[in-house]
Structure 1
Amino acid sequence: MISLINSQKLWLKLQRRFLQYSAISLKQPQWLLMFAFSRIQIIRFLVLHLTKKPIKIDFLKENSVFTELDPDRAVKALNSDGLHLGITIPPHILKEILDFARTATYYGNGDLQFPFSLANRRVQEMKSGKSFRIGYNFEPTSQCMAIRKLAGDRKLWEIAAKYFGSQPMLACTQLWWTFVNDAPAEGRAQGFYQFHYDLEDYTCVKFMFYLTDVDLLGGPHVCVKGSHRNKKLSHQFSLLREREDSEIKEYYGDKNIVTICDRAGVGFAEDPSCFHKGILPQKSDRLILEFKFTLNNYGIIL
């Protein structure tokens, strides 16, 4: 029964995204190779070890603002669990980011046709005829000095470099709201809220910071520890990256499913090849700041 459901989901997803994938593949054929084969762990391992680049992060001269963060401990946790918790933004930097976030421009559901600010969101929703479940700002580093400072933080770069064993690059920085919304998620958005893994590159680490308090009703992020290393073979060789909760629990176990709740300003490092999902906020809107490090920059946000 599950196989039939998964086949139907895959068919619907291919129908929905065929044109997008085709256009990207024509512009970036190397992305297509990565997208097709990086889901297989042995290929990820081989590519990573055959394409190592010398690590050069000496250009980062300033001391890290994350005084309590131990890069070696974080890398050890990423290697074993694919997850490291408890990275805290200093209060003065958090305040500067929140001041910016209140007046920033976002794009409804990630669509550049629908810009809005928090003050005029409802008006813009009415004009567009759409309900904005998510609002993205794709270039916060060019608009906020505090975010730019974090994007160049030496310890974040050091963690990425040591985890990759190769020179990292900052592929993207984004700020996004997930709004309380009673309507069911549709289309691509459905995949965000069920267990899935991302194919960003042959290796990747994301630093994600809650900028609002997040409890069980505030839209917590959920990660399956260790699923970046011991992914089930049928999950690696399937074109479908989304899985039902029951499948995840049966294979990886409840003890490895981590629901991340924390206060504003606290973040975590995650290898997005771990199975993970978002939970829709029910009580309060959620704001996240993300820094994504990869080996290669394909210039694509999916």
Structure 2
Amino acid sequence: MNTAVLGRLQHVLFKLRKPDWFLMYALSRFSTMRKLITRLYGSTQSNKTNNSLFFGIEDRDSLFSDLQVNTVVNGIKKDGYYPGITLPSATVQEIFQFLETIDYYPDHDGPAYIPPQTEANNDSTSPQYNKLYSRGRYPETFLDCPAIQRIIHDPKLLKIAQGYLGVRPIHNGSRLWWSYANVPPYDIDHAGQRFHYDVDDFGALRFFFYLTKVDSACGPHMIVRGTHDHKRLTDKITLSRFRSDEDLINHYGQDSLVSLEGEAGFGFAEEPQVFHKGAQPTSGDRLILLIRYVMREWVTG
């Protein structure tokens, strides 16, 4: 058993000590159960979906002036994602200005790092890499950025999450990280660069934003359209949530595969249960922001 599989197994075994989390983890793989439980949960909440949830927060305060909330919600329900939620260029610039004031840490899952090419180690058989690490992650201090706080609390994003989840959304954390091209070998599963789906809650929604231009060479986010609702039984009940490109294409069809590319600021909403991955960058680096909302926070520690 390789290290990645062992690590995931240990993670699941640790959380098995929380029976309510385990039931969610097992049952939410079935879309009918997710819909049933979110409906039941919403009916018991005093904060059920209505316009008063975000009273005092006007759409005119949104960064996404042209975004139609109902159109986005319906698109996510149908396809498992919705593209074209684009940040203003001034917001992207403000984030970069803030990031100049904090450091990020290198991250890599792989064999011993191979040093850069030097004159002492210069032969045609030695691999050459631009960077020693596959990723660079920002600590949670990036959340102190006012521009990122405006995104997290944006009225239209909150209303989209509310409309999709059926209850007041809970911000369940954010991440900001670089994915690098031309790096030593590493574990693509742990880096999220093999197709998989995620189990955050019975009801969950994510927003992603590219802060750099992302084309086919920069590791675009990829989705298998519709697989949040329509998965094979084996995809729902097996321990591993990871699948190969070939397996998914053979079953769900080449047309279901979507590659999301765009300029800096391009964003999209995603149901985490849809099969997705970040492709491996080949010649360009990618900086991406992830914001998560859930129906209920799960304490597993």
User: Which TM-score applies when normalising by structure 1?
Assistant: 0.82
Instruction: Provide the residue aligned with 2:175 in structure 1.
Output: 174
Displacement of 1:14 in angstroms is 4.8
- Distance in 2 (alpha carbons) for counterparts of 1:220 and 1:48: 31
Say whether residues 1:213 and 2:210 are aligned partners: no
Displacement of 1:25 in angstroms is 4.1
2:39 to 45, 49, 56: 49
Displacement of 1:102 in angstroms is 3.4
Q: CA RMSD in A?
A: 2.4
Instruction: Provide the residue aligned with 2:248 in structure 1.
Output: 248
Cα deviation 1:119-144 (Å, max 9, x = unaligned): xxxxxxxxxxx943222224256420
- Distance in 2 (alpha carbons) for counterparts of 1:138 and 1:200: 21
Runs of 5+ in structure 1 lacking a partner? 1-7, 112-129
- Distance in 1 (alpha carbons) for counterparts of 2:5 and 2:198: 16
Instruction: Provide the residue aligned with 2:273 in structure 1.
Output: 273
Displacement of 1:187 in angstroms is 7.2
Percent identity between the aligned chains? 33
CA contact (8 A) 2:225 2:258 kept: yes
Instruction: Provide the residue aligned with 1:21 in structure 2.
Output: 12
Counterpart secondary structure, 2:206: strand
- Distance in 1 (alpha carbons) for counterparts of 2:244 and 2:265: 31
Instruction: Provide the residue aligned with 2:133 in structure 1.
Output: 132
1:228-247, aligned counterparts within 5 Å? 228-247=228-247
Displacement of 1:94 in angstroms is 1.3
- Distance in 2 (alpha carbons) for counterparts of 1:187 and 1:288: 17
The residue identity in structure 2 corresponding to 1:60 is I
Instruction: Provide the residue aligned with 2:112 in structure 1.
Output: none
Say whether residues 1:158 and 2:159 are aligned partners: yes
Inter-CA distance 295–138: structure 2 relative to 1 (3 Å threshold): farther
1:26-105, aligned counterparts within 5 Å? 26=17, 28-52=18-42, 53=45, 54-55=48-49, 56-58=53-55, 60=57, 63-105=61-103
Cα deviation 1:64-109 (Å, max 9, x = unaligned): 1111111111011101101111111112111101112234232332
- Distance in 2 (alpha carbons) for counterparts of 1:140 and 1:156: 22
Deviates more, 1:289-298 or 1:180-189: 180-189
CA contact (8 A) 2:108 2:133 kept: no
Runs of 5+ in structure 2 lacking a partner? 110-130
1:103-122, aligned counterparts within 5 Å? 103-109=101-107
User: Which TM-score applies when normalising by structure 2?
Assistant: 0.82
Counterpart secondary structure, 2:54: coil
The residue identity in structure 2 corresponding to 1:209 is F
Displacement of 1:298 in angstroms is 2.2
Cα deviation 1:148-186 (Å, max 9, x = unaligned): 111100000000111112221111122111122432222
